[in-house]
Amino acid sequence: MQVPRPTDHCQLCNRSGLPVTKHHLIPRGVHRRKRFRKAFDLEDRLTRILWVCRPCHNAIHAARSEQELAMHYNTREKLLEIPELRDFVDWIQHKPPGFKPKQRPAKG
């Protein structure tokens, strides 16, 4: 089982030169639930990862619940189908690495 290594850029907004955090595309909070164990094997649950900057990570979790993220938005492409997240990424990708939004995006 190969867990993806950290990248030198955010895999959502593509900004570089900033610290990145590990976003589990199948959130760890649902790993023990029967429904998710049936839908995704252990390797999938542990290795589906995106390395994202803190503002993007916060925006992901503000956009949808962990259950919705796990079942419907478990790839980068599917995450970017969330309109408010796509708008956020379009907006932040042009900001400098040290930029931090003043408030968290509202849940959709």
Q: What is the tally of structural domains in the chain?
A: 1
107 has pLDDT over 70: no
Answer yes or no: is 86 within a domain: yes
Q: What integer pLDDT is reported at residue 42 of this predicted model?
A: 73
More confident residue, 94 or 105: 94
Phi, psi of 50 (to 5 degrees): -120, 140
Q: What integer pLDDT is reported at residue 30 of this predicted model?
A: 76
Write out pLDDT tens, residues 49-100.
Answer: 899 999 999 999 999 999 899 889 999 999 999 999 999 999 999 998 888 8
Answer yes or no: is 38 within a domain: yes
Q: What integer pLDDT is reported at residue 103 of this predicted model?
A: 65
Answer yes or no: is 34 within a domain: yes
Instruction: Establish how many alpha carbons lie within 13 A of residue 79's alpha carbon, considering only the half-sphere containing its beta carbon.
Output: 29
CB count, 10 Å around CB of 97?
A: 12
Task: Tell me which DSSP letter residue 107 carries.
Answer: P
pLDDT band at residue 48 under the 50/70/90 scheme? confident
Q: What's the average model confidence in pLDDT over 28-48?
A: 76
Answer yes or no: is 13 within a domain: no
Answer yes or no: is 29 within a domain: yes
Answer yes or no: is 30 within a domain: yes
Close Cβ partners of 105 (under 8 Å, ≥ 6 residues apart)? 58, 59, 62, 63, 84, 85, 88
Range of the domain at 49: 21-92
For the whole model, what pTM was predicted?
A: 0.83
